[in-house]
Structure 1
Amino acid sequence: MRKAPPDIQPVQDDRDDASLFRAAIGADRGKVRALPEAAPPPAAPKPKPAAKMARRDEEAAREEFRHMLVSALEAGDAMSYRREEITPRVLKKLARGEYAAQEELDLHGLPAHAAEALLREFLRDCRAHGLGCVRIVHGKGRNSEERLPVLKNLVDRVLRQRADVLAFHSPPTAQGGTGAVLVLLEKR
């Protein structure tokens, strides 16, 4: 037979639960400790900034190097250039004025920055309209302050840099001579 468990009587304490709790953990009613603030979640790592200055410097250096490769043209010098895939025969025909200019741009007398912007826009429009040969009048540059033809050298530099320019050459005197250039453009 089993014995009945002894009667367990709870201990009577006149204190309420809150005071018992404070007594057990030692909390003082006047001093309430604030929980430490939770640290904000770590921010996502920021992407490394692009090296814009280094890129600009490199582009400027390349541009300057391109200028050094082509020596400056004098007022009476003929302009001449052809891409490797263009035969010398085509360049000779261009020099003799055997290609008819489909459009013409007259830059002479303009400031260099305006002339360059106009030239780039003109070439873009000519290409968009499928023109094959154009004439650009840059002038001979005899009145230039730098004693070198500014616009002639600017046109030479811009044309050499463009992928859509196949060849160019100063035309015969009757078509502008060394004050103009005939340009063969790649068809669209």
Structure 2
Amino acid sequence: MTEEEQLFAEEMSGVKPLQSELRVALKKSVADAKALEARREAAVATRARINFLAENEVQMLDGFTLLEFQREGIQHGVFRKLKQGRYPAEARLDLHKMTVEQARQQVFEFIREAMALDLRSLIIVHGRGHNSKSGTSVLKSHLNHWLPQIAEVQAYCSAQPQHGGAGAVYVMLKKSERKKQENRDRMSRGRVNP
């Protein structure tokens, strides 16, 4: 043993190790569960606010191109009624004189708010691009690129002339869970379960 080790051993001769439990008992409280639930809700809300609409690889369209899109599962009769303008617009967004980035933000927020309010039938006015230097309808092209990216958008198509024609689109949103339940309740009233 070196001189330093011997000196250390002499200094530590009367010292006893501290006694401690090997495990720490954790008590989960109701407050912890509430805090965890609040964190989960905040994470979901934050995810919902993130604008995921992409701006790359946009196919540029002219002002007279008619837009049309429907997801699988949308009935042909429903889509035909949408194209005929037979669903009254519950909300309207006008994108005239906006930059692409402003329009991107407005479209995202508009759809999000419409879903929160249980709206299903919307109209978005994008214009035909008459003032565009490129000769294309920039906002129309971007809107045609963005709307299919939003899962809540079930279908859209160019509007009837009285609602803006090729310068606007009718948009049909997915039915919210609350509205679906209301329909189920309404349909089941008066029925007797066997």
TM range (shorter): 0.5 to 0.7
Q: Indicate the structure with greater helix content.
A: 2
Please give the residue correspondences for 1:133-148 in structure 2 after superposition, counting only pairs within 5 Å. Answer: 133-148=121-136
Equivalence for 1:126: 114
Correspondent of 2:97 among 98, 109, 121: 109
Q: Is the 8 A contact 2:61 2:138 kept in 1?
A: no
Correspondent of 2:74 among 58, 62, 86: 86
Query: Quick one: which amino acid aligns to residue 177 of structure 1?
Result: G
Greater gyration radius: 1
Question: Once superposed, what is the RMSD of the aligned Cα atoms?
Answer: 2.5
Please give the residue correspondences for 1:26-41 in structure 2 after superposition, counting only pairs within 5 Å. Answer: none
Unaligned stretches of 5+ residues in structure 1:
1-24, 33-61
Give 3-state SS (helix, strand or coil) of 1:155's partner.
helix
Give 3-state SS (helix, strand or coil) of 2:166's partner.
helix
Give 3-state SS (helix, strand or coil) of 2:171's partner.
strand
Distance 2:140 2:167 in 1: 8
Query: Quick one: which amino acid aligns to residue 155 of structure 2?
Result: A
Equivalence for 1:76: 64
Q: CA deviation at 1:83?
A: 0.1
> 4+ residue runs of structure 1 moved beyond 3 angstroms?
none
Distance 2:83 2:65 in 1: 13
Equivalence for 2:174: 186
Unaligned stretches of 5+ residues in structure 2:
5-53, 177-194
Q: Is 2:154 aligned against 1:166? A: yes
Distance 2:143 2:172 in 1: 14
CA 1:136–1:83: 2 relative to 1, 3 Å: same
Q: CA deviation at 1:146?
A: 2.0
Q: CA deviation at 1:73?
A: 2.2
Q: CA deviation at 1:63?
A: 7.1
TM-score by length of 1: 0.62
Distance 1:117 1:107 in 2: 11
Q: Is 2:159 aligned against 1:155? A: no
Distance 1:104 1:187 in 2: 18
Give 3-state SS (helix, strand or coil) of 1:151's partner.
helix
TM-score by length of 2: 0.60
